[in-house]
Structure 1
Amino acid sequence: MDILIIGGNRYFGKRLTSALLGAGHQVTVLNRGSSPAPEGTLSLTADRNDEAALEKALSGRSFDVVVDQVCYTPRQADIARRVFAGRTRRYVMTSTVEVYAYEDSAVPVTEDVLDLGAVAVDLGLPWEDPEFLEAHYGEGKRQAEAVFAAAGAPFAWTSVRVAHVLGGADDFTGRVGHYARRIRAGEPIAVPAVNRPATYVYVEEIAAFLAWAAEAEFTGPVNAHSHGALTTARICAEIEELVGGRTVFQEVEVGEVSPFSFARGYAMDNSRAEALGFRFRDSSEWLRQALSETVGAEVEA
């Protein structure tokens, strides 16, 4: 297949690219040109926020599948709907567990708890403002999905709701490092008084899932995560084993809490993905390895 990846040069995006190349697909990577395209791929350069530039870069090209790694806002989704109409038969959007951030459920949530038809889309919000976008990350993804779910989508589409990702020496988020430094120093780790477990996925596993989704035919949202929800305490216990030191939790009623700490329950249910044919591992099988990869890289740095 001829597959276009939008923004495939970072973290699990580059692993996805490698997986698709290894499967024999022709892969084209579109980005702003700030980093070279991975070896073995074709390269297109455009700012995906600039519709005219995107149209120009794609002139005369069509693809079996588009995998959009960097669709964060309804405005970007709206552009993609127009630009890729007639240029692809299938569109895969990388979404996030954070679309469920308004939920507070005692049981894992399925895809249908979020009614995309009821999501109000506001293209006029300041989505181009980095601070606004960061503060409204889940809302941006939620509205982007709603744009594709609207009646009359010009291509088959799916949104992959990715769990919290762990692993890799190239984890750029700093979340594991936050814990490692505090545990090593015995400094307090701020958590909510009621700290809910959450769903996670190993970086290699989510890349494999996205490659599988690109080759599949299903449509609509799908949750993607490993079995076995994890607590902050479980993650910290593993990091403590790796770096030494002591975990000290400090419960806070208001204010900012540490990453991987959740006052609301919105762990995901991956039954749909498994019914479609993908088999996830249990988080206990990869957690130590994933954390070791990231902590080890930070120690070496």
Structure 2
Amino acid sequence: MNKVLVLGGTQYFGKKLVEMLIDHGNEVTIATRGTKADPFGDKVNRLRIDREKKETLAEAFKGKEWDLVYDQSCFSPTEARDTSELLCGRVGRYIFTSSQAVYEFGTLHKEEDFNPFTYPIKYKGRREYPGYVGYKEAKRASEAVFHQLGQFETVSSRFPIVVSEDDYTERLKFHVDKILSGQAIGIPQPEMRYSFIEAAEAANFLVKIGKSDYIGPINPGSAGDISLQELIDKIELLTGKEAIVDKNPPSDSMSPYALPGSWSIDTSRAAALGYGFMDLHLLLDTLIKKYIMAYGKISE
């Protein structure tokens, strides 16, 4: 039985990760602010921490050791440094949930397109990283801290857009609902392209990469990418309705995927290591059909 610490783990695919770790027979501890209920009952141990207050981590981690850590809640290099210092010598392997946002806008980025081992670090807190630009910089700098300090065998999992039927952000569902209701969708640049991964597959990947001996950055997800226009075409075909696309929209109709540029990843390294993911078009078709069915029930 492995002793596993999950920093976070009470939201979206973090919950799926914890459930899978429990099912695999691990002794799981979750460390959170304790402000959100979780569904795990007595199947996990709980620690209360605030990632912005180092002293809470020091108190929570005192006298404890784990075989493996999954970090779902780090959003600044300061948090990465504090956690690394306090867990040094207490943990062998560290799996950091990063993002494709570490890359510049563009398509099918390979892992070497961002090097965390040489990236200059400026230590700031999470509140100093607003918006998409801030999120991008925070993930870059956090990766850099974990890899450059070298306290653990570290994996940075650079996830693309995570989707599922129970996606609390409802970003994909937004497009289906707008088309079904005949409302405009704001897409200034429909040619922008993005990559995706299904939430349960994201959690399963984390479980498996944690058991492996892989170290370094890695891009998991469904192979390839899709443009916003292709996504709209797909929804039109499956709904039988024509989309109204506005290239100069008001903010309330703007697509949540309407970013300033393309963001997609090359997943060939993960595939070469034996990690498989759902076909991109099958994934999106399946979810779109479920959202269509859900919309019909709501309309009734």
Q: TM-score, normalised by structure 2?
A: 0.87
Q: Residue in 1 aligned with 2:85?
A: 82
CA pair 4-143 structure 1, distance change in 2 beyond 3 A: same
Q: Residue in 1 aligned with 2:156?
A: 159
Find the aligned partners of 1:110 and 1:266 in 2 and give their Cα distance: 12
Find the aligned partners of 2:118 and 2:248 in 1 and give their Cα distance: 33
Contact 2:176 2:291 in 1 (8 A): no
Find the aligned partners of 1:187 and 1:181 in 2 and give their Cα distance: 8
Contact 1:161 1:224 in 2 (8 A): yes
5 Å-filtered alignment, 1:1-301, equals: 1-37=2-38, 38-39=40-41, 40-100=43-103, 102-105=104-107, 108-124=108-124, 127-128=126-127, 132=130, 135-150=133-148, 152-169=149-166, 171-193=167-189, 195-240=191-236, 245-252=241-248, 258-293=255-290
Secondary structure at 1:221 match in 2? strand
Find the aligned partners of 2:132 and 2:276 in 1 and give their Cα distance: 32
Find the aligned partners of 1:297 and 1:33 in 2 and give their Cα distance: 32
Contact 2:222 2:278 in 1 (8 A): yes
Contact 1:104 1:265 in 2 (8 A): yes
Alpha-carbon deviations, 1:33-63, whole Å to 9, x = none? 1123423111111112211111111111111
**Which amino acid in the other structure matches residue 217 of structure 2?**
P
Contact 2:189 2:247 in 1 (8 A): yes
Find the aligned partners of 2:241 and 2:99 in 1 and give their Cα distance: 32
Find the aligned partners of 2:243 and 2:213 in 1 and give their Cα distance: 45
CA RMSD across the alignment: 2.7
Question: Could you tell which deviates more after superposition, 271-280 or 215-224?
Answer: 271-280
What's the CA shift for 1:265? Answer: 3.5
Contact 1:185 1:246 in 2 (8 A): no
**Which amino acid in the other structure matches residue 46 of structure 1?**
I
**Which amino acid in the other structure matches residue 115 of structure 2?**
D
Contact 1:65 1:214 in 2 (8 A): yes
Stretches of structure 2 lacking an aligned partner (at least 5 in a row): none
Stretches of structure 1 lacking an aligned partner (at least 5 in a row): none
Find the aligned partners of 1:27 and 1:20 in 2 and give their Cα distance: 7
Secondary structure at 1:24 match in 2? coil
Contact 1:158 1:218 in 2 (8 A): yes
Secondary structure at 2:127 match in 1? coil
Contact 2:6 2:31 in 1 (8 A): yes
Contact 1:167 1:291 in 2 (8 A): no
Q: How many residues align?
A: 294
Find the aligned partners of 2:193 and 2:184 in 1 and give their Cα distance: 19
CA pair 134-103 structure 1, distance change in 2 beyond 3 A: closer
What's the CA shift for 1:271? Answer: 1.5
**Which amino acid in the other structure matches residue 136 of structure 1?**
G
Secondary structure at 1:224 match in 2? coil
Find the aligned partners of 2:65 and 2:293 in 1 and give their Cα distance: 42
Find the aligned partners of 2:160 and 2:254 in 1 and give their Cα distance: 19
Find the aligned partners of 1:141 and 1:297 in 2 and give their Cα distance: 35
What's the CA shift for 1:231? Answer: 2.2
**Which amino acid in the other structure matches residue 12 of structure 1?**
F
CA pair 9-293 structure 1, distance change in 2 beyond 3 A: farther
Q: TM-score, normalised by structure 1?
A: 0.87
What's the CA shift for 1:216? Answer: 1.4
Contact 1:3 1:28 in 2 (8 A): yes
Find the aligned partners of 1:297 and 1:88 in 2 and give their Cα distance: 44
**Which amino acid in the other structure matches residue 247 of structure 1?**
A
CA pair 284-133 structure 1, distance change in 2 beyond 3 A: closer
Find the aligned partners of 1:79 and 1:251 in 2 and give their Cα distance: 44
Percent of aligned pairs sharing the same letter: 28
Secondary structure at 2:282 match in 1? helix
Secondary structure at 2:30 match in 1? strand
Question: Could you tell which deviates more after superposition, 172-181 or 155-164?
Answer: 172-181
Contact 1:4 1:29 in 2 (8 A): yes
Find the aligned partners of 2:140 and 2:272 in 1 and give their Cα distance: 24
